[in-house]
Amino acid sequence: MAFKQASPDGLKRYQDDRFGMFVHWGLYSLVGAHEWAMFRDRRSVADYEVLANRFEGEEFDADAWVRLAADAGQRFITITSRHHDGFSMYDTALSDYKVTKTPFGRDPMVELRAACDRHGVRLGFYVSLLDWHHPAYRAALRERSGLAWEDYVGFLHGQVEELSTQYGDVAEYWIDGYWPAEWATNREKNWFGPSGDFQLPELYDKIHTLQPNAVIMHNHHAAPQPGEDVQGFEGDLPGENTNEINVTPLTLEARETCQTTSTIAYGFHKDDHKYRDVRELLTMLVRGAGSGATFLLNVGPTPQGTIPLPAQQNLRAMGDWLSRNGEGIYQTRAGQLQVADIDGRDSLRHAFTSTVGADGAHYVHLLNGDAPTSFFVDLPEGQHARDVEATLLTDAGPVPAKILGDGDTISVTVPAERREALISTVRLRVR
């Protein structure tokens, strides 16, 4: 079949956004241990599904969530529509195992859609391919229900159609739950292994037909397939593979990296009190942009529906930094510069990264306190400077810059007293 992709406008919009909020909220939030709690505790369907009777979300405020995202400088929110536990967080017509059949009794996606429209934030959906609850997914449940694998595939595709037709313009579909080369799929087949084909080409075609501007990011830790628009790097930066799950080479220009604000799980964890600091999160945002990646930063709301305070504080601090330096992040693409310490210290090679704007301006980001006051910028091959203008985004004032050699290197000096406490960004206009 001929494969559709996201429209050029939709793909550009996604790449321009550069920063989004990831949200994991569901029945597992009540357990307060991990979004995989049903599997980790090996709970039966009957034992786990009674959690729905306790899901009240009494403090949920869609406007507060979206205002926080907007304050953080996040341009879209991607939220779990159904995680691996099979519980639908929207008013699906295809199952009664859903949020509107709980004491909460409402469709949070409707409320988030309205809040997103009010605050200029876009809405996207996480979709799990696997479902530990559905009577046709796991072999043990199919034996009891008499259903076939095709019944589950019909349910999966039907839910995607609902999400694509009931909640307006969709930013992103974040597909998860199938990792063909990893332990979960291959060693825990009773829980994770599919019993047939998900018919992904047809699923992607449905999405691109109903939501032509939406991008598809499949978190399978493998090479992107036709119909997928964004190459994902879970918990890592493109090409680095420090967590040993993102082993694929860079093949797509549009990329995404995701990370958690806390350190144990995506969903709310009652014992997770260690949150990543603002410097770590900003560094991942900036280095991701320098690698051509959008940064999707996760929060795990409490069972009551509030985003934990440490996550809120860090997000607002990121938004404060972006209010001064966002020009070097939004609407940029992967950097084209080589930045080097004047003294040639290789240990400082991670002290810099760069991005390039739509108008050709280069942005050099000084990532940490180790970045020296003066540094060299080597221009892309074939580019030679006749004139250069260097501006520190923090205060919009000029900084000293000098063309060296034959015009292919620029030296830049950022006085220590003018640098940001976290990350400083210099705009270079080279003519």
Question: Backbone phi, then psi, for 112, in 5-degree steps?
Answer: -65, -40
Give residue 348's pLDDT band: very low, low, confident or very high (50, 70, 90).
low
Question: Backbone phi, then psi, for 126, in 5-degree steps?
Answer: -85, 135
- Rounded-to-integer distance, Cα 243 and Cα 255, Å: 17
Look-up of token digits 């550009």: 12
Signed CA dihedral, 86, 172, 317, 372: sign only: positive
Choose which CATH entry (3.40.718.10, 3.40.50.9100, 3.20.20.80, 3.20.20.150) describes domain 8-328: 3.20.20.80
Using one digit for the tens of pLDDT, what is the confidence trace for 176-211?
A: 999 998 888 888 999 999 999 999 999 999 999 999
Rg, Å, the chain Cα set: 23
- Name the DSSP class of 202: H
In this prediction, residue 350 carries a pLDDT of 72
Q: Are strands 388-392 and 397-398 parallel, antiparallel or unpaired?
A: antiparallel
- Rounded-to-integer distance, Cα 273 and Cα 263, Å: 8
3-class DSSP state for residue 189? Answer: coil
Look-up of token digits 């009190």: 273
Joined tokens for residue 184: 């979960």
Q: Residues 111-130: what's their mean pLDDT?
A: 98
Choose which CATH entry (2.60.40.1180, 3.60.20.30, 3.40.50.720, 2.40.50.140) describes domain 335-430: 2.60.40.1180
- Rounded-to-integer distance, Cα 269 and Cα 33, Å: 5
- Rounded-to-integer distance, Cα 96 and Cα 109, Å: 17
Write the CB contacts of 234 (distance below 8 Å, at least 6 apart in sequence): 219, 221, 243, 245, 246, 257, 258
- Annotate 270-291 with DSSP letters as a single string: TT---B--HHHHHHHHHHHHHT
- Cα angle vertex 322, ends 321, 323, to 5°? 90
3-class DSSP state for residue 370? Answer: coil
416 versus 6: which is more confidently predicted? 6
- Residue 210, Cβ neighbours under 10 Å: how many? 14
3-class DSSP state for residue 171? Answer: strand
Give residue 256's pLDDT band: very low, low, confident or very high (50, 70, 90).
very high
Q: State the first-to-last Cα distance of the chain, in angstroms, to the nearest integer.
A: 47
Using one digit for the tens of pLDDT, what is the confidence trace for 291-336?
A: 999 999 999 999 999 999 999 999 999 999 999 999 999 999 999 9
In this prediction, residue 1 carries a pLDDT of 74
Look-up of token digits 């739950």: 177
- Rounded-to-integer distance, Cα 102 and Cα 57, Å: 10
Boundaries of every domain in the chain: 8-328, 335-430
Look-up of token digits 């990646």: 293
| Helical residues (DSSP H) of 45-198, grouped into ranges | 45-49, 62-72, 108-119, 139-145, 149-166, 183-187
Using one digit for the tens of pLDDT, what is the confidence trace for 46-94?
A: 999 999 999 999 999 999 999 999 999 999 999 999 999 999 999 999 9
Whether the per-residue pLDDT at 98 is higher than 80: the answer is yes
> E strands, 220-320, where?
231-234, 255-260, 293-299
- Rounded-to-integer distance, Cα 28 and Cα 24, Å: 9
